[in-house]
A = this chain, B = another copy of it.
Amino acid sequence: MNRKHMTGGDALVSALADEKVGVCFANPGTTELDLVRSLEREERIRCVIGLQENVCTGGADGYGRMTGRPSATLLHLGPGFANGIANLHNARRAHTPIVNLIGDHTTWHLPYDAPLTSDIESLARPVSGWVHRIGAVEQSDAVAREAVKRSLSGGGQGATLIVPADFQAQPAGEQVPLILPASEGKPSVRSDFNADAAVQRLKKAGRIVFLLGGGGELSGLGARAQKAVQRICTALGASAFAETFPSRSERGQGLPAFDRLPYFPEPARDVLDPADLVVLVGALPPVTYFGYEGHPSLLVTSDRLLTLAEVGEDAAERLESVARLLGAGEAEAPAVTLSPPEDGPLTPARIALALANELPAQAIVSVEGGTCGYPFYAASAGARPHTTLTNTGGAIGQGLPVAMGAAVACPDRKVVALLSDGSTQYTIQTLWSLAHEDLDVLVLIAANHQYAILRNELRRGGAELGRRAAEMTSLENPCIDWVMLAGSYGVPGGRASTTAELLALLRQGFSTRGPMLIEMAL
């Protein structure tokens, strides 16, 4: 469009499109309407509407994990943004690039403390690598470009732009560059790496455990890196584990069957305590999920840690050079036998095997919830090659929107959301967006009608579950009817109580396109 007639909103949106931001996950309100008008004119950006903001931010997380590129979110002032914080927390832990656009009151209206006024910066900072409030309409273009750049720095992060309504609507005028305080600069990740030194240390170490961090194709859990780690492990007699909650990992036939580092401290320590050296490949030093009495928080002290690649660095290349220097031979991933599931009433193990057997090649599996998540990860080594996305930050309500975002990013791949009933409720409105966008997502709900993880924690150490504690972790009375719930949002579904029923529904889901939900009765 003619730049002379551009508004600030137009300049901002157009700059995002120039920077290849192609999707905006949006839940706008009145203070974003001039950005809506600008999006009306910017055909290069696809708008995906969520009925609640955590759907949008989770969608942006899934999209960014699969593409390595930021999408935008469009959120309404402080309270609207707040609704999306939980999934931005997960996205921060996944190092996902995202550009958040928050409309704020017109600048001159802010001092009057109108009903929707709040301290947006205070809300945004905990989940943003960069927070910036646009101070002049002439900077709309530069600020948008800077936000994209920031979202991609530090291995990937949230860049949050607060855009007062007046600057969205005013004529953009002559655009000027953005001059930022020096303190705002943050260098991209780039650790020193000396392959020879690393190899020397590996050769000298006794028992070695590799800990692989997830991310893009070049991460520790990309296919190339996993294959190189397998060669190294064979050469050194070492073992390797995926981090417990990878943002993205490749998995299945043709890849080594690395386990995930266990969640609870006891089995995690069984893996790590005997190690003389723990090699971090795009993974953070292992820390227990919560503080557990009698266990250290940091499971491996720094003298036993070797960082081969930081998050966001090219782990594949580093591992391949280490393998080369070690003279490690080529290693075929041993074929993993995948048994068929036993028939009978559904159990997590049967669900895991059924899904692993039926999963089509190149599927994306968004996993949330422990009930089926752990058994599926074990079984999935023998499945056709696929990509797994997990809950990186522990804020639940992540699995379904991340699946949605992955489906927007990869329209040619089947997406499976393998979820627990408790966590899925937090962002249940995602179902509508799946139907509205006709996204190819098969939603599997493990319906045990309880917060099982909390009951497991309450029972740790052999304690009995008290009456009220049982009530406070129950999703019964009434049990949610998931098939009816999906149907109300226009998503067809079915219920399975046995392996045979599940297999039949899985085959139906994998042979058709579009959203579908299966309630798996446990």
Structural contact, B26 and A105, CB atoms closer than 8 A: no
Binding stretch for chain B, among A113-121, A189-197, A250-258, A494-502: A113-121
What is the bound-complex CA distance between A474 and B109, given in angstroms?
A: 28
- Whether A428 and B426, one on each chain, are in contact in the complex, defined by CB atoms closer than 8 angstroms, is no
In the complex, the count of this chain's copies comes to 2
* Residues B425 and A429 in contact, CB atoms below 8 Å apart: yes
Measured CA separation A86–B111 after assembly (Å): 21
A114 close to B289 (CB less than 8 A):
yes
> Are B40 and A466 in contact, CB atoms less than 8 angstroms apart?
yes
Tell me whether A457 and B291 are in contact (CB under 8 A).
no
Please give the distance in Å from A460's CB to the nearest CB on chain B: 9
Q: B40 and A467: CB pair below 8 A?
A: yes
Binary contact track A94-126/B, C-beta < 8 Å → 1, others 0? 000000000001111101111110110011011
Q: Is A79 an interface residue (CB 8 A)?
A: yes
Indicate if A484 sits at the interface (CB-CB under 8 A): yes
Known: A26-B472, A37-B466, A118-B89. Contact between A287 and B113, CB under 8 A? yes
Contact with B along A208-237 (1 / 0, CB 8 A): 000000000000000000000000000000
Residues of B within 8 A of A123 (CB): 82, 85, 122-123, 126
Partner of A54, one of B83, B116, B126, B393: B83
Interface residue tally of chain A, by bracket? 35 or more
Interface of chain A: mostly helix, strand, loop or mixed: helix
CB closest chain-B residue, reference A126: B119
CB distance from A325 to the nearest CB of B (A): 33
Minimum C-beta distance from A521 to chain B (A): 15
A78, B126: Cβ atoms closer than 8 Å: yes
Q: Is the CB of B115 within 8 A of A392?
A: yes
Question: In the assembled complex, which residues on chain B have CB atoms less than 8 Å from the CB atom of A109?
Answer: 288, 290-291, 297
Cβ contact of A469, chosen from B36, B291, B487, cutoff 8 A: B36
In the complex, chain A residues 7-62 whose Cβ is within 8 Å of any chain B Cβ? 26, 28-31, 33, 36-37, 39-40, 47, 49, 51-52, 54
Identify the stretch in A176-184, A302-310, A374-382, A475-483 within 8 Å (CB) of chain B at 4 or more residues: A475-483
Q: Answer whether A115 and B297 are a contact pair too, CB < 8 Å, given A39-B468, A432-B480.
A: no
CA distance A29 to B113 in the complex (A): 34
| CB <8 Å contact, A82 and B86 | yes
* Given A290-B30, A394-B115, A469-B37, also A80-B85 (CB < 8 A): no
The answer for the CA separation of A127 and B120 in the assembled complex, in Å, is 11
- Say yes or no: B114 contacts A288, CB within 8 Å: yes
Asked if residues B52 and A397 are in contact (CB atoms below 8 Å), the reply is: yes
From known contacts A33-B458, A115-B394, A123-B126, infer whether A78 and B83 are also in contact, taking CB-CB under 8 Å: no
A residues engaging B (CB < 8 A)?
Answer: 26, 28-31, 33, 36-37, 39-40, 47, 49, 51-52, 54, 78-80, 82-83, 85-86, 89-90, 93, 105-109, 111-116, 118-119, 122-123, 125-127, 165-166, 245, 287-291, 297-298, 392-395, 397, 422, 425-426, 428-429, 432, 435-436, 453-454, 457-458, 466-469, 471-475, 477-482, 484-485, 487-490
Q: Give the 4 A-B CB pairs with smallest separation, nearest first.
A: A109-B291, A478-B490, A106-B291, A79-B395
Some 24 contacts from A to B, beta carbons below 8 A apart, are: A36-B458, A36-B473, A40-B466, A40-B469, A47-B472, A49-B472, A78-B89, A82-B395, A83-B85, A83-B397, A83-B426, A106-B290, A106-B291, A107-B291, A115-B245, A115-B289, A115-B393, A122-B123, A425-B432, A432-B475, A432-B480, A435-B478, A484-B488, A488-B488
Besides A33-B457, A107-B291, A123-B126, 10 new A-B residue pairs in contact (Cβ under 8 A), listed by A number: A40-B469, A51-B422, A82-B82, A82-B86, A109-B288, A116-B290, A119-B125, A436-B477, A479-B490, A481-B490
